Structure 1
Amino acid sequence: MRAAVLAVAAAALLWSSGGLFIKLAPMPAMAVACGRSLIAGVFYLALLRPNLRNARWSTAAAYAGCIITFVTATKLTTAANAIFLQYTAPAYVLLLSPFVLRERLRPIDLACVILSLLGLSLFFVDKVEPGQTLGNILGIVSGIFFALNIVLLRRDQGDALASMTLGNLVAAAVTLPFALGSLPALLTPLGAGVLLYLGIVQLGLAYWLFARGVRLVPAAEASIISMLEPIFNPIWVLLFWGERPGPWAVAGGVVVIASVALRTVRPAEAFAPDR
């Protein structure tokens, strides 16, 4: 059990390094998204061997949209804003569930949605450049795509690994035309090293560790441990890149993480009205 918990924690910490390495990449966002997704897709195919016939195109498209917009958001705004805004995804899942999954909202769900939207609004209080505003918006879009990926996966009962692998390949194909102009940077030691790390370690190895650990770790505990990602993502960027998020963004991130933690620790059933 302890080894499983450590595996989930290690996966979350590897995921959290994404913001720093995306910042370090000496090429535009689309080139980073292309190389990262292509390498991750090949890694999954070679080592984890998913059956792509079990993938769902709708889920794969949502996943591709999520990773493209997240990388672009991280390049345009602070890493903290990008990851915190993506973590508003549970609120969108709750809003989509009644329509897609026929699941009704409970009081705790509504409270979490309101908290998440409140936290989201705080990201736009700090004074930001026009490019950062676009990055913040793309961070929100990334969260929406992430929520769609979760909801569609639950609705269609598809193979998560197969859909994720296909999603990475779709993302690589979509961004390839925009990445060709950055080929010289991709072939430098720094460019190639960063992309190999992002594709093999930050996505590939992290997923493998999480998949092994989550088999033995209760879902609620795994969700809480996974919150190491949004906590450490901006810390790595601050320590090694010198990027400081604004005070209102930090406050918004705390509210967003608190809303996710509330929904995880206090399941909906505990807040359900008496039948």
Structure 2
Amino acid sequence: MGKGTTPLPSLVREQGLNILKAYFQILAACLIWGTYGVFVQKMAYPPEVIVFFRFFFGALFLVILSYFTGRISQLRPSSHTGFLFVIGCINAASWLMMTRSIMYTSVANGFILLYTAPCFVILLAPFILREPFEKKSLLALAVSFAGIILIAGSGAGGLKEYNLWGSLLGLSSGILFALYLVALKKLPSGLLGLVTNTYMSFIIALVTLPLAAPSVFSVTLPDLLELAFMGIMIQAVGTTIYMIGLRKVKAQHGAILCYFEALFAMLFAALFLHERITPVFLAGAVLIIGGGLIIALKRKERSSAAENCRLPKSN
């Protein structure tokens, strides 16, 4: 091995650690996102208003952050701007449908239907992203989804509040969220993070503004501050962390790990909305965590890491 060359096992180990770090970044984003249902249930505003302010304040914070960190030049329009607009519209529709689904049904119902998305991601990824189909992804999906079903039916504000229209909206949000996740992986990895999140947040705020406009000026100052906090934390911080983590993992894995958002959402609902936690709920939580462990601990990354490593040239 020539001078200046890093041993292959070290590179493989380093890449494995980077992937594990990416998993934790996705889980951190899910923890932050999990607070969304509490905000929605506590606010007496149409979903269009909540979604608009979430993305508006998120985008505003990201632009200010970019300016003070000297990264504002990265936000200049590029050849990917049109594609970002399409992705933003898809995500806007998904969040509007999911938010209204929560209002019509419950936090549990809204999240279980949103997270049919990994099912569609696993079906789409091999064809659109050329990701190889993995049996472990299917196993992790089955285990995690079983956990979601248990939690939603455990009485934690769940399936007892069935509403056909709300359920159809929730399922539609799941399909659109799957398209959004797959589309993100079509972008250059360097764009995933602050740049993509800023563009999409502004686009979604722009798309939802006409829908939210009739009610925007009825928002009280205390609620506006709460919406600003939600936008900064959930959209600016949470989504940026998620996109950075998504750079290093497969779309299938990133989608399945998002089941933790539903788990966190229902835990927060139990803490702040007094939705009950039962033994069945806890069993569902164990299954969701088990599905995440299947993804994180049974990786077959060694061979793929070896194939993808680029060794420095010898001097």
The normalised TM-score by structure 1 is 0.73
Q: Deviations over 1:82-110 (max 9, x none)?
A: 23433343322111012212333232233
User: Equivalent residue for 1:234?
Assistant: 266
Shift of residue 43 of structure 1?
1.9
1:167 paired to 2:200: yes
1:176 to 190, 198, 209: 209
1:193 paired to 2:225: yes
**1 CA distance for matches of 2:234 and 2:133?**
34
User: Equivalent residue for 1:87?
Assistant: 115
* 1:245–1:145 distance in 2 versus 1, CA, 3 Å: farther
Superposed, which structure 2 residues align to 1:252-267 within 5 Å? 258-267=290-299
User: Equivalent residue for 1:26?
Assistant: 44
Shift of residue 206 of structure 1?
3.1
Aligned 8 A contact 2:89 2:207 in 1: no
User: Equivalent residue for 2:8?
Assistant: none
Q: How many residues align?
A: 262
* 1:178–1:62 distance in 2 versus 1, CA, 3 Å: closer
Shift of residue 169 of structure 1?
2.4
Percent same amino acid at aligned positions? 26
2:124 to 72, 80, 96: 96
User: Equivalent residue for 2:103?
Assistant: 75
User: Equivalent residue for 2:170?
Assistant: 139
* 1:246–1:181 distance in 2 versus 1, CA, 3 Å: farther
* 1:69–1:267 distance in 2 versus 1, CA, 3 Å: farther
**2 CA distance for matches of 1:197 and 1:98?**
38
Aligned 8 A contact 1:63 1:164 in 2: no
Shift of residue 190 of structure 1?
3.4
1:44 paired to 2:62: yes
Shift of residue 236 of structure 1?
1.9
Aligned 8 A contact 1:34 1:171 in 2: yes
203-212 vs 22-31, which moves further: 203-212
**2 CA distance for matches of 1:147 and 1:268?**
24
Unaligned runs of 5+ in 1: 271-275
User: Equivalent residue for 1:60?
Assistant: 88
* 1:209–1:157 distance in 2 versus 1, CA, 3 Å: closer
Aligned 8 A contact 1:59 1:149 in 2: yes
User: Equivalent residue for 1:157?
Assistant: 188
State which structure, 1 or 2, has the greater radius of gyration over its C-alpha atoms.
2
1:204 paired to 2:232: no
Aligned 8 A contact 1:118 1:255 in 2: yes
Q: Deviations over 1:40-65 (max 9, x none)?
A: 12222222343442442333233323
* Structure showing the higher helix proportion among its residues: 1
Letter paired with 1:64: A
**2 CA distance for matches of 1:85 and 1:194?**
26
Aligned 8 A contact 1:79 1:237 in 2: yes
* 1:110–1:17 distance in 2 versus 1, CA, 3 Å: closer
Aligned 8 A contact 1:23 1:75 in 2: yes
Shift of residue 219 of structure 1?
5.8
**1 CA distance for matches of 2:48 and 2:272?**
23
Q: Deviations over 1:6-38 (max 9, x none)?
A: x94664433222111122222011111112111
Unaligned runs of 5+ in 2: 1-16, 67-71, 303-315
* 1:14–1:119 distance in 2 versus 1, CA, 3 Å: closer
Letter paired with 2:204: A
Aligned 8 A contact 2:98 2:114 in 1: yes
